[in-house]
Amino acid sequence: MSRKQKRLAVIGGALGVLGLAVALMLIAFSQDIRYFRTPADLTAEDMASGARFRLGGLVEKGTVVRGAGTRIEFAVTDTIKSVKVIYDGILPDLFREEQGVVTEGKFNPDGTFVADSVLAKHDERYMPKDVADSLKAKGVWQGN
């Protein structure tokens, strides 16, 4: 092999490894994307698809019902529409009514959202950016 052929083989191998790395990253990212929706943004297709996504808004006042063990039911609202959420697990310490929350999970056939994770605000002024932007766009945001 001449020097030129060796150099081309090294460059070709490096490009192949780089292409493989990019392909693996794209596959990993596409499998981990979770789409954010507010209750008013939901469509019948979202509910029937069985796809996982994030549901965000405010915990509706008077809807928190604690069941047996760690099961809890509550409603997430954007003041336009509400969605019933069922979660079985330990809630964040700062979870409470009328506070910002983002839940991740999917819909049951009966229309309830089954969450496998719940994220709550971490201080008096914090609201997840996506939730705050969505509430501002609908004209219901009361914060800063």
pLDDT at 77 exceeding the cut of 80:
yes
Binding site members for heme: 122, 126
Mean pLDDT value across the chain: 84
Q: Are residues 89 and 111 in the same domain?
A: yes
In the predicted model, what is the mean pLDDT of residues 5-16? 94
pLDDT (tens digit per residue) in 34-75:
667 888 888 888 788 888 888 888 899 899 998 888 899 999
| Residue 75 DSSP class | E
Q: Are residues 27 and 41 in the same domain?
A: no
pLDDT at 109 exceeding the cut of 90:
no
CA quadruple 16, 18, 24, 30: dihedral sign: negative
Better-scored residue on pLDDT, 122 or 111: 111
Alpha helical stretches, state H, the chain:
3-32, 44-49, 129-137
pLDDT at 78 exceeding the cut of 70:
yes
pLDDT band at 86; cut points 50, 70, 90: very high
With beta carbons less than 8 A apart as the criterion, state whether 100 and 121 touch. yes
Domain that holds residue 8: 1-33
Q: Are residues 129 and 117 in the same domain?
A: yes
Q: In the chain, how many domains are there?
A: 2
pLDDT at 123 exceeding the cut of 60:
no
Domain with residue 55: its CATH number is 2.40.50.140
Binding site members: 122, 126
